[in-house]
Amino acid sequence: MNAPPLRIGIAGLGTVGRGTLQVLLANAELLTLRAGRELRPVAVSARTRDKDRGVSIANLRWHDDPLALARDPEVDVVVELIGGADGIARGVCEQALAAGKHVVTANKALLAHHGAALARAAEKAGRTLAFEAAVAGGIPIVKALREGLAANRIHQLYGILNGTCNYILTQMHREGREFAAVLKEAQDLGYAEADPSFDVDGVDAGHKLAILAATAFGGEVDFAAVSLEGIRHVSLADVRFAEELGYRIKLLGIARRTEGGIEQRVHPCMVPVAAPIATVDGVYNAVVVEGDAVGTTVFEGRGAGEGPTASAVVADLIDIARGRGLPAFGVPAARLEKLARAPLAKRRGPCYVRLMVVDRPGIFAAVAASLRDHEISMESVLQRGRAPGEVVPVVMTLHEAAEAALQRALAEIARHDGIVEPPRMIRIETFA
């Protein structure tokens, strides 16, 4: 092996940065064999220099300014692990590429908002933009889409892309606790941030879905096209009714080819208990990809954390060391299409609806009339308990219907006397 070392600069020494440095140092001999050359960390940048990170940085050049690291002439590849869609993280990537350096990033927000522009900059510089760690942690789903499944026209992909939400829904199912209590536990365990909005409102999963859709369908990353709905409104009652009906509730990201364009949406789904994705629990992620030649493939593993994400970062570094440079999103940046959008309003499918109603004559007839008027038919109805004059839950599953018609019907139902809170709707996905 006579190739010179690949000199690596790491911007950001948080959980993933520390983990990446640990993997590079602990597995140095093995990585040299697999990369064909030494993977040598030479420089780092972070907010605090003298922090005990459990890994020594004494022999590495220190940069107070991560932008200086991006321009360091003794660095071949910059690993951006700062985070954030703009600001310093974006500047590090742009300046590194402009300086003729490869870039590896785990920054899904940056890619969701600026992925196409960064891909063009990388190709103009003749360098690699790699981001396996940005989606699903240790699951090599980007490589699978870009390389292993390159022979396929992808019909759809869907999956559990946020471990925090999957943990919350799993604990609600297993332990019979409400959303707020499990969220607090997830925060105490470090699975959720103090402000959990990006996770529980679907934004994090939306960023990842936009990246996967671009890679699968050869288009520009279009986060604005992703319909987002989180899990705040999912109650323990919904979880229990789902069980009774033979479903599990999962927050899914779904990207699908339709006659009207590419559908991209993140929202809670009821999936049949027999579906493989229904059994993916805790902080695990899973992605299902359907291609015209390969059929259905399933990828499952840890979607976040120091080790799994560092594993993905180092895998990208090995590819760069080997000279395996590919277009960031599978096709040349100049050929990335602006994909036609298929809005959520165009979806057709079944769904679950829970109403909280005052138990008195005529209420259900009014609800049924609203559904009839919007050409929506009921498949089943559940009501637990009779308490005349009191509030009781009424649960319906509805046959396949147009999303727009369903939303109009639910808005009308919400205005009926006796409906005491907004109808709660969860889409049913069978993936048949």
Tokens of 390: 């009191």
Q: Tokens 């590079």 label which residue?
A: 24
The Cα–Cα gap between 358 and 352 comes to: 20
Name 396's bridge partners: 353, 381
The Cα–Cα gap between 124 and 45 comes to: 26
Cβ–Cβ < 8 Å for 287, 157: yes
The overall longest dimension of the chain from CA atoms, in Å, is: 85
Q: Tokens 């459990």 label which residue?
A: 54
Cα 352–chain centre separation: 24
Summary count for the chain: helices (H), strands (E): 14, 16
Q: How far apart are the first and last CA of the chain?
A: 51
The Cα–Cα gap between 10 and 40 comes to: 11
Tokens of 288: 């299902």
Q: Tokens 């709707």 label which residue?
A: 425
Contacts of 308 (CB under 8 A, 6+ apart): 137, 138, 139, 301, 302
Tokens of 315: 């895998």
User: SS in 3 state form for 134-196?
Assistant: HCCCCCCHHHHHHHHCCCCCEEEEEEECCHHHHHHHHHHHHHCCCHHHHHHHHHHCCCCCCCC
The Cα–Cα gap between 205 and 223 comes to: 11
The Cα–Cα gap between 151 and 261 comes to: 21
Cβ–Cβ < 8 Å for 63, 83: no
- Report the DSSP pairing between strands 39-45 and 61-62: parallel
Nearest to 43 by CA among 109, 114, 92, 111: 92
Rg (CA), the chain: 24
The Cα–Cα gap between 253 and 228 comes to: 9
Which residues participate in catalysis according to the annotation? 208
